[in-house]
Amino acid sequence: AVAVRGAGREIGLIELSAVEKFGTIEGIYTYGAPGTASQPLPNLQREDRCFGGLRSFNQDVLGPVTKEEDAAALSNQFSHARMPTIVLRKGTDSDYHPCLAPEALSPSSALSSLLSSSSSSSSSSSFSSSSSSFLLPQQKSFSWPDDKHGDEFADWTLHWENDYTPRLADVQVNGKDVSDQEPFHKAWQYVLAAYKTYDSTTHTVAQLHERVPNWRLVATETRIQGQGSLYDEDPVLLVQDTNTLDCGIVFTGTNNIDNELGTSLTNYGTGYCGFEEVHAGYRNELWDIAHDLFPRLRPKLSKCRKVDCVGHSLGGSLCEIFSACANSGRVDDPDFQNQMWIPETPELMEGITKGGVVYVDDAEHRCAEPPCPKVR
């Protein structure tokens, strides 16, 4: 039996063996996220081991062989979870790559032989043949972004919403506008929420209503630790589609270089939820956030019909690790228990106008409601 907390209180002991179904992640939507593990994290809920959703990173082609890319996508050489990927370009074709067989997903793998077969790609893709088969026959080989050969350069100006939003709104693949098809349309819907983790609850509510009126902010919980230059806020948002009752849990990216740079630089491999060689800094960040915020988020997650995970930059990396654990089914693992939730009858939740805060130890109380002003 495990003690489960919800809404800031103990809600009792739960016999894990008696739980028929735990919450899982349907799709992962990331924007400029660094890699997460030495080997691609799998979706153990599916036979093909692929997650739904879309990994996105921006790229500008400067010449025949020279490219600039979102710097965060180049920031480490860890692999990404098994999921579809799009290399977003402005005003021209983007490169879309459906989820491939496990052996094809490491940064150094050659993918041309796998991509040349539309039938094999269709069987391992996260999407039905009706939504993605037109993309497959013309696919070319795909290499993960790296700067080892001197022809790919990091550009932090490609890391922000003003590049991701218009590219996803007008995404083209093989000469076709696919912006109204999945997973591209949903990635465009979620990109706003991914960047609103850096903004106030008031602005988030207003901008969601303006751009994606069927989505509602139903939770914002922020973990705060440290003081002075080491003051750090880690908000997690929950948005709900008022039509389908599906939700997106949204992790924030790096919002304090002084404190969180160390998270990214703690880049040796460690264990998490039964997986090996997971990025230690991201693993530790996720564990702390789940431990302190999930007692508040768990009751609302339980009311979602399905749940996606969304994140920009570091937030996207947290999503990959969180999703792999949620879908692992390893109910006896302490990491799983730390972040798990139990689905109930789906329910339309009320929108919020103010978020909650959890202060860790002697954390500075800087303002009434985060995000608080930066102090140098």
Asked if 221 and 230 touch (Cβ cutoff 8 Å), the reply is: no
At 265, is the pLDDT very low, low, confident or very high (cuts 50, 70, 90)? confident
For the chain, helix, strand, coil in percent to 5 are 30, 25, 45
pLDDT tens digits, 199-252? 999 999 999 999 999 999 999 999 999 999 889 999 999 999 999 999 999 999
Interatomic CA distance for residues 222 and 220, integer angstroms: 7
The confidence score (pLDDT) of residue 279 equals 96
Asked if 154 and 211 touch (Cβ cutoff 8 Å), the reply is: no
Helix, coil or strand: residue 373? coil
Interatomic CA distance for residues 5 and 349, integer angstroms: 20
- Give the mean pLDDT of 56-62: 94
The pairing of beta strand 85-88 with beta strand 52-61: parallel
Asked if 319 and 37 touch (Cβ cutoff 8 Å), the reply is: no
pLDDT tens digits, 312-361? 999 999 999 999 999 999 999 999 999 999 999 999 999 999 999 999 99
Helices assigned H by DSSP within the chain: 112-115, 118-124, 129-132, 161-169, 184-196, 201-211, 257-265, 280-301, 314-326, 334-339
Asked if 369 and 357 touch (Cβ cutoff 8 Å), the reply is: yes
Which residues, including other chains, have CB under 8 Å from residue 235's CB and lie 6 or more apart? 197, 220, 221, 222, 223, 252, 355, 370, 371
At 103, is the pLDDT very low, low, confident or very high (cuts 50, 70, 90)? low
Interatomic CA distance for residues 66 and 64, integer angstroms: 6
pLDDT greater than 80 at residue 183: yes
Asked if 322 and 338 touch (Cβ cutoff 8 Å), the reply is: no
Asked if 200 and 237 touch (Cβ cutoff 8 Å), the reply is: no
pTM of the model: 0.86
Beta bridge partners of residue 69, listed in sequence order: 59, 154
**DSSP for 90-144?**
SSSPPEEE----GGG-STT---HHHHT-HHHHHHHSSS-HHHHGGGSTT------
Interatomic CA distance for residues 27 and 29, integer angstroms: 7
pLDDT greater than 70 at residue 302: yes
pLDDT greater than 50 at residue 291: yes
203 C-beta neighbours (distance < 10 Å), count: 12
